[in-house]
Amino acid sequence: MIKWKGIRWSVHPLFVLVMIGSVMTGYFAELFTLFLIVLVHEIGHVVVARSFDLTVREVKLLPFGGVAEMEDAGSIPAGQDALIAIAGPLQNVWMGLAAWGCGQLGWWDPEWASYVWQANLMIGLFNLLPIYPLDGGKLMQAAFSYGFNYYAMMKWTSRISIALSTLMIGYALSTAFHSDAGIQLNLLVVGLFLLLTNWTYYRNIPYLFVRFLMHRDRVAVRTIARGSLARPIIVNLKQPIIAVVRLLWREQYHLIYLMELEGRIVKVVPEKEIVDRYLTERDPNRAVIELFR
């Protein structure tokens, strides 16, 4: 691991295994090219994130791309998150076109040019699969942020990612029965990695949600700066506080209306009061009205 421009850069153990295998089989040039492609792919993410004044803590390089960890994760607007995600595959577009052009102009050996543009095509398209933490998974998260509250967005992202990772593993295993090539080991390993990552993500949703709540003040600042209207949330007096905070949306600031079953509004509180009470309350299942008596 090295630190450059304030960012920790590391190579994932999965990539290390690929490197060892490539060196042992004599594919060093292909390995070095793959490393450069993945590095430029991740630099694309970092440059766009930095343009939004976001802090990138660490970049982990993987054989099919990488993972850039943002310090501001959870408070980044969905639109910015989508632009950061798509910036990686866009690097593969220009690199692939450049390699193809060099081959057509005779500047590179046609076979080598074909390898480089096909490698970029493979990495770019693979990263667009709607599986977290691939770029396609992050684009899916950004899209879901406009149709679901934050907690539901995380749940659906993890569920879809687990399902698609399982399908990837199943396909890799099924080739043993339909092809003379046997099991697609690379696809199997990547599928297992993505499945494990998303299973861990699913189990850590409660902790990730708390991190989201701890950065809600930034949403308030952006809302006030834009002069945007607060989004109302109407809840029953007896709803547990944990159920109320799970109704918060990613880019919306909320006013919480506490309503009796008869339809009378008892109290209106800004979301900050609800979030602060939740973060300090020992029993998150207490009725929300009990916190404001």
What does the alpha-carbon distance between residue 214 and residue 206 come to, in Å, rounded to a whole number? 13
Q: Above 60 in pLDDT, residue 10? A: yes
When pLDDT is averaged across residues 275-285 and rounded to a whole number, the result is 88
When pLDDT is averaged across residues 188-201 and rounded to a whole number, the result is 91
In this prediction, residue 35 carries a pLDDT of 82
* Percent of the chain clearing pLDDT 90 (strictly above): 44
Confidence category of residue 124, pLDDT binned at 50, 70, 90 = very high
Contact 235, 244 (CB under 8 A): yes
When pLDDT is averaged across residues 91-116 and rounded to a whole number, the result is 92
Q: Above 90 in pLDDT, residue 30? A: no
Q: Above 80 in pLDDT, residue 220? A: no
Q: Above 60 in pLDDT, residue 117? A: yes
In this prediction, residue 216 carries a pLDDT of 85
- How does the average pLDDT of the chain come out, rounded? 86
In this prediction, residue 125 carries a pLDDT of 94
Does the global pTM surpass 0.85?
A: yes
Query: What is the residue type of 124?
Result: G
Q: Above 80 in pLDDT, residue 66? A: no
